[in-house]
Amino acid sequence: MTELTTAHFLFLSAALFIIGMVGVLTRRNVLIIFMCVELMLNAVNVSFIGFAWEQNALTGQIFALFVIAVAAAEAVIGLGIVMALSRRLDTVDIDEVRQLRE
Amino acid sequence: MEWIADWLFVIPLAPLVAAVANFLLGRWWIRDRAHWIAVPAVGVSFLASVPAFLTVARQHEPLSQHLYTWIPAGDFRVPVVLSVDQLTAVMLLVVTGVSFLVHLYSVGYMHGDPGYHRFFAYLPLFVFSMVMLVLASNFLVLFVFWEAVGLCSYLLIGFWFRRRSAADAAKKAFIVNRIGDFGFGIGVLLIFVTLGTLDYAEVFERVGTLGAGTVTAIALLLFTGAIGKSAQVPLFVWLPDAMEGPTPVSALIHAATMVTAGIFMVARTHPIFVASPTAMLVVAIVGAVTAFIAATIAVTQYDIKRVVAYSTVSQLGYMAIALGAGAWIAAIFHLFTHAFFKALLFLGSGSVMHGLHDELDMRRMGGLKRSMPLTYWTFLIGAAANAGILPLAGFWSKDEIIVGAWVAGYPVVALIALAAAFFTSLYMFRAVFMTFHGEERFDRAHLHPHDPPWTMSVPLVVLAVGAAVAGFAGVPPEQGWFHRLLEPVFEGSAHHEVSLATTLAFGAVSTVIALAGLYLAAAAYVLGTVSPAAVAERLGPLYRLAYNKWYFDDVYQRLIVEPARGFATFLWRQIDVGVIDAAVNGAARLVVWTSQLWRRAQTGLVANYVLAIALGTVIIVGAYLVAGSNLFR
């Protein structure tokens, strides 16, 4: 059994981040995209924790807590937008929302 | 009366207050009460000038009052000092006195004009500027008010600006004057560069230290200003056109006061001219040519105001002759007498126009002697004074000028002046006879000419008395009261002894000449023994030359106006539209084209935007990793 290193944290973080980003780029359902954004935020949290573990310092962990708090606030706003979207346009498909086109 | 030295400021202040009040409140509040402010204000100015005059008439020393320091810049200081010596005092009396009479006359003449309050704002503003011009004690203040009177002249010529011809005449006056003023400005700068000061007294003291060439250049440049302002050849063309303004303006500004500013300025700066015989000769020649040309033009004109206007140009030429001959006192004496009779002649023509509903053409007048006796007699006195008939004002001063030119060693100039005197008498009596004698050629069914109301006739009478007796201020010639008064100002300047015999001889000759002109005019227009049309026919080209004003306007049109207009059109079409506008429009078109290109990127698909953000991040971070960090090394 190999020992746990910082690289393991970072590979996990990178994998989660890429999964999240690909989701954001490819999916059309707003809710899925929203979940993928959360995934990317948590990928960042993982790398914070990894560095905190390596440095044996609390700073990274505190940062992760902050990210969770901000993510919670973002979830409120994001879900609010999703609600407004579905009420006004009766859809959650991102490709049908093109009002910002020139 | 020493106290007046501390009260000199009242002289310019009173008209300034009137002007400002009528400017600010005239339109909504004062309206046709404007003269209640303007007339007394100019009256106050006149009353304040009298004690100043009496004081300097008795004492040698000039009066002066320091108002404030306008430009304090290191060693260079320009104070605004009002100073009154004998020359200034004479000018003050002429300016404020004639102004007062013209203001009074305007009350009747301008009655009912929609711009009444505007008129009574411009006119006191002019009085203020002119008074400051003569009170100035350094070249910079002189220059400022020199321009200010030009501005007032422009505003008043274009007073009826809705009329195209008036607006054009105003522009012409302003632009032509600008040419002269440009030379004047350079002259002032040259004085400052060479002497380092602009104060009259200091400049005159140090003139001797300059080289002959520099002094001549300064004198000629200053005289260029006088050529423009005092309507000398070749810049006189603006003055006859200036008659588009209201008649009181012609009387005050374009006859009695402003146009004499050039003569005054040369007299004021006489130490500079004395130092340069070349400049003096040029002044005398320009004056002689002006006097002669303008007199011949006046003989052929039919517009009564234009006849008087060309007469003004001609008389200004006489003054210039006197300046050039070093007969300074004679020049100022003629300025003094001319102010009376020329203002009188203009106000008289205004009175005729008033009676005939703005008729100007003398061919449609005639016989007004019966219906307008007061106007006739006053106009006759003015005309006789202008023609130099003994013993009226013009005779004494004009004769002195001719004698002055003779003894100064300019016999040709004196002979030209005598020839011009013949034409002067001819055109003046021609105007009198065509207007007031003979049959009534106007529309008698509709026009009922009559003498004007009292506000207009009082100035006529006062000026007629002045035109009749003002000449006695200079009697006996060369030793009169007027000469003794001005002696201190021109002390030590060129002065030629004149023998009594010369004076008498020239007096006799010029009287004969004036009577010859009178006789010819009478023969042509009253007795009918000479037919003017036949004479014109006989003289052919000479008559046409004079009738077309020696083609000055046409030559300027061809040589200056049209090329300038062509050049301006070229600048407009090629440079302005072709280069400047094209550059601006091109820049705008470039922006439009680029944004057309980039608007395609705005798809409205969130996925595209996110992809762009992600790719951008990858590229930026990647570039940082490759170039800036040591991760891959």
Per-residue pLDDT tens over the stretch B221-236? 999 999 999 999 899 9
Q: How confident is the model at residue B498 (pLDDT cuts 50, 70, 90)?
A: confident
Average pLDDT over residues B301-330: 93
* Predicted model pTM: 0.81
The phi-psi region of residue B250 (left if phi > 0; otherwise alpha if psi is between -120 and 50; otherwise beta) is: alpha
User: Can you tell me the mean pLDDT for B613-623?
Assistant: 90
Put simply, the answer to whether A26 touches B605 (Cβ < 8 Å) is no
CB–CB contact A101 B614 (8 Å)? no
Chain B residue numbers touching A33 (CB-CB < 8 A): 606
What count of CB pairs under 8 Å joins A to B? 28
**C-alpha–C-alpha distance, residues B233 and A25, integer Å:** 89
Contacts of A96 in chain B (CB under 8 A): none
Burial label for B213, CB within 10 Å (0-12, 13-18, 19+), is exposed
Using CA atoms, how far residue B624 sits from A11, B434, B616, B617, B618, in Å, is 21, 101, 12, 10, 10
SS3 B356: coil
Q: For B244-298, what is each residue's pLDDT tens digit?
A: 899 999 998 888 889 999 999 999 999 999 999 999 999 999 999 999 999 999 9
Cα–Cα nearest to B119, from B47, B50, B191, B18: B18
If one counts every other C-beta atom within 10 angstroms of the C-beta of residue A98, the result is 11
**Nearest chain B Cα distance for residue A14, angstroms:** 13
Say which range, A60-69, B160-169, B361-370, B570-579, has the weakest mean pLDDT.
Answer: B361-370
- In angstroms, the first-to-last Cα distance of chain A is 58
Structure confidence at residue B489 (pLDDT): 87
Measured CA to CA, the distance from residue B244 to residue B250 in angstroms comes to 9
Domain segments of chain B: what residues?
Answer: 1-137, 276-547
Give the pair of three-digit tokens for residue B226.
Answer: 């006088």
* ipTM of the prediction greater than 0.85, yes or no: no
Q: How far apart are CA B74 and CA B53, in angstroms?
A: 36
Do B288 and B317 form a contact (C-beta atoms < 8 A)?
yes
**Cβ-Cβ contacts under 8 Å for A16 (sequence gap 6 or more):** A39, A40, A42, A43, A46
Structure tokens, B206: 């140090």
Alpha-carbon gap: B118 to the closest alpha carbon of chain A (Å): 59
pLDDT of residue B442: 84
A102 min Cα distance to partner chain B (Å): 6
Chain A residue with the nearest C-alpha to that of B607: A25
Q: Which of B602, B606, B614 is facing A94, going by the closest CB pair?
A: B606
* pLDDT, tens digit (0-9, with 9 covering 90-100), for B32-65: 888 899 999 999 999 999 999 999 988 878 889 9
CATH of span A6-91? 1.10.287.3510
Residue B494 has pLDDT above 60, yes or no: no
What residues are paired with B78 via a beta bridge? B71
Q: Which of B604, B607, B614 sits opposite A101 (nearest CB)?
A: B604
What percentage of chain B carries pLDDT values higher than 90?
64
DSSP structural state of residue B559: I
Q: Is A12's pLDDT higher than 90?
A: yes
Can you tell me the distance from the alpha carbon of B246 to that of B169, in angstroms, rounded to the nearest whole number?
12
| C-alpha span between B44 and B38 (Å, rounded) | 10
Mean pLDDT of A31-45: 92
pLDDT digits (tens, 9 = 90+) for B534-547: 888 888 888 888 88
CB contact under 8 A, A100 and B604: yes
Q: Which band of pLDDT confidence, cut at 50, 70 and 90, is reported for residue B83?
A: very high
pLDDT band at A102 (very low <50, low <70, confident <90, very high): low
Which structure tokens are listed for B174?
A: 């302003």
Cβ-contact A23, A35 below 8 angstroms: yes
| Residue B631 pLDDT level (bands cut at 50, 70, 90) | low
**Among chain A residues, CA nearest to B598:** A102
Asked if B74 is an interface residue toward chain A (Cβ–Cβ < 8 A), one would say no
Judge whether residue B370 has pLDDT over 90. no
More confident residue, B509 or B491: B509
The HSE-up count of residue B616 (CA atoms within 13 Å, CB side) is: 6
| Residue B191: predicted pLDDT | 94
* A24 chain-B contacts, CB cut-off 8 A: 610
Mean pLDDT, rounded, of chain B: 90
Taking a C-beta distance cutoff of 8 angstroms, is the pair B425, B514 a contact? yes
From B137, B7, B144, B142, select the one nearest B83 (Cα to Cα). B137
At what angle are helices B116-135 and B10-25 packed, to 10 degrees? 160
Q: Which chain A residue is nearest to residue B609, measuring alpha carbons?
A: A25
As given in the structure block, the two tokens for residue B348 are 């008289």
pLDDT at site B624:
86
Q: If you average pLDDT over residues B126-130, what whole number do you get?
A: 95
Query: Does residue A50 surpass a pLDDT of 80?
Result: yes
Q: Which of residues 13-42 of B touch A (CB under 8 A)?
A: none
Instruction: State chain B's maximal CA–CA distance in angstroms.
Output: 123
What confidence score (pLDDT) does residue B34 get? 86
State the amino acid at position B459 in one-letter form.
Answer: P
Among chain B residues, CA nearest to A33: B607
Residue B1 has pLDDT above 70, yes or no: no
Residue B446 has pLDDT above 90, yes or no: no
- Residue type for B4, please? I
**Quick one: pLDDT band at residue A1, thresholds 50, 70, 90?**
low
Chain B residues touching residue A26 (CB < 8 angstroms)? 607
